[in-house]
Amino acid sequence: MRTWLLLLTYCGTRYAGWQVQPNLPTIEGEIEKALQQLTGTFHKVLGSGRTDAGVHALNYPAHFQSSQNFKAIQWQKALNGLLPPDIVVRNVVEKPTSFHARHDSIGKRYVYLIHNAQQRNPFAENHSWWIRQPLDLKAMRTAAKYLVGRYDFSSFRASHCSGPEPVKELREITIAETVSSWGNLIMEFEANSFLQHMVRILAGTLVEVGLKKREAISMEEILKKRDRTKAGKTAPSGGLYQLAVHYPTDLVSWPKELLINPFKITENSEECSRYFHYSSLLSTNTPTKC
């Protein structure tokens, strides 16, 4: 039995999330169906995490095991010939039998895209969150400062979330302007792992700060309460993109040119005080110096 690691990119608009669900189209379900068509046998595909309905992925790792005598490039070409056009296998590599796409990860990164403008962009539907009112980015960055670190994020998870460990290390938040066909503002979040809906609730709460519906300092109290009703609304799923899953470099190391990140920060790096970029890996929660 051999273990194969897939690097996927997919548009989540038509799907009910990653995980297989009865009578609903899912990313996992489509890949397992393609594998069965290809080999004649069922192969369980294990993802690096669950994405919600409508959420997109840019660089998503998943793995499966097979006794088939295929080469990596054969798996890639055959699967891409069978999968729908909104799911693409961008690379396949063989890994040790013990490898697990989720259990072996040491960090994850998501980006949330906002279209902050007076007029709606019809081409951005299901790919960003349209917010007509101007957002106060300075206030949002101040609020984000209170969220970076190791905390109990119970206030920022779905009310039905069954994850046994609500304490997460939110390592970094970046809020910046970007150039994209679908939006002009990004919020990037990196943590050791995330709770269900955590990124979308963080995004929704920070937007409420930007709209002056909340004070930045209220983030401290929201964290302390550990109560979902104290945080903001859950941001729409279409604006969320899985950006990266991190592994020890001796276990997984993708070539940089293979990884997709279409959301480039527009500010000059020498003017990084214009956007928020804090990291719990620093000795104190202070802006990164350029």
Whether the Cβ atoms of residue 227 and residue 155 lie closer than 8 Å to each other: yes
Give the three-class secondary structure for 223: helix
Tokens 């063989």 appear where?
Answer: 94
CB-based contacts of 219-227 (< 8 A; 24+ apart in sequence): 219/143, 219/144, 219/146, 219/147, 220/146, 222/155, 222/156, 223/146, 223/147, 223/151, 223/152, 223/153, 223/155, 225/155, 226/152, 226/154, 226/155, 226/166, 227/154, 227/155
Residue appearing with tokens 């527009």: 266
Distance CA 154, CA 152 (A): 6
Catalytic, out of 52, 86, 152, 227: 52
Rounded CA-CA distance 61/80 in Å is 15
Helix (H, G, I), strand (E, B) or coil at 62: strand
Whether 104 is catalytic? no
Distance in angstroms between the alpha carbons of the first and the last residue of the chain: 49
Q: What does the block give as tokens for 263?
A: 């959301």
Beta strand 56-66 with 240-246 is parallel
Q: If residue 177 lies in a helix (H) or strand (E), which one and from where to where?
A: strand 167-177
Catalytic residues, by residue number, are: 52
